Structure 1
Amino acid sequence: MHFKKLKVRPRKNVQAIYCAKELSTMLSCWAASGDIHSASACAESATTLFECMRTAPIPVKTHRPSINYHLARLNKYLK
């Protein structure tokens, strides 16, 4: 058997995007008011965004499979 540069790509996992709705609400409020420095106009959306970000779960790093490492290591035996 002869495999030239054999490599397996890991599957792409879809990550959940937390607080996207609150962030878009905040950005649209800034766009509607025309001034991002006025705290009174967008105070409610800023508060909801802050609360969402404070309570959002911290993403956990997952273990990456080491199949590419082992394929590269065993490649010299496959030739």
Structure 2
Amino acid sequence: MVHIANVKVRPTKLTRPSPCKVELVSMLGCWAATGDVLSADASRCKEVADALFKCMRTTPVHPKPQRPAINYHLSKLQRKVK
């Protein structure tokens, strides 16, 4: 008989869509092009920052997905098998 110390199942990782990814990449690109993240001159990346701010304000918040309970049930089964 084979003895397994710990029985666990790793769930597949689902990729969640990033709703403001394009705006964030353009903001980082603007900062990289100007060479200053903490710029006092707000006119350099103002349009890009406004687009990112608008996207973050209008994007709905998705609830956290439920975790599967298979590891819980496997641990209960393992206790009964021992």
TM > 0.5 between the two?
A: yes
> Which stretches in structure 1 are left out of the alignment for 5+ residues?
none
Aligned pair in 2 of structure 1 residues 73, 32: CA closer, same or farther (>3 Å)? Answer: same
Match of 2:66 in 1: 63
Instruction: For residue 27 of structure 2, give the secondary structure of its aligned residue in structure 1.
Output: helix
Letter in 1 for 2:27: M
Task: Find out whether 1:10 has 2:24 as its counterpart.
Answer: no
Match of 1:54 in 2: 57
Letter in 2 for 1:63: Q
Show CA shifts across 1:42-61 (max 9, x none). 11000000001111121211
Aligned pair in 2 of structure 1 residues 26, 77: CA closer, same or farther (>3 Å)? Answer: same
Bigger relative contact order, structure 1 or 2 (CA pairs below 8 A, ≥6 apart): 1
Aligned residues: 79
Runs of 4+ deviating beyond 3 Å: none
Match of 2:31 in 1: 30
Percent of aligned pairs with the same amino acid: 49
Q: Could you tell me how far 1:73 is from its partner in structure 2?
A: 1.1
> Which stretches in structure 2 are left out of the alignment for 5+ residues?
none
Letter in 1 for 2:48: S
What TM-score do the two structures reach when normalised by structure 2? 0.80
Q: Distance in 2 between matches of 1:21 and 1:29?
A: 12
Match of 1:72 in 2: 75
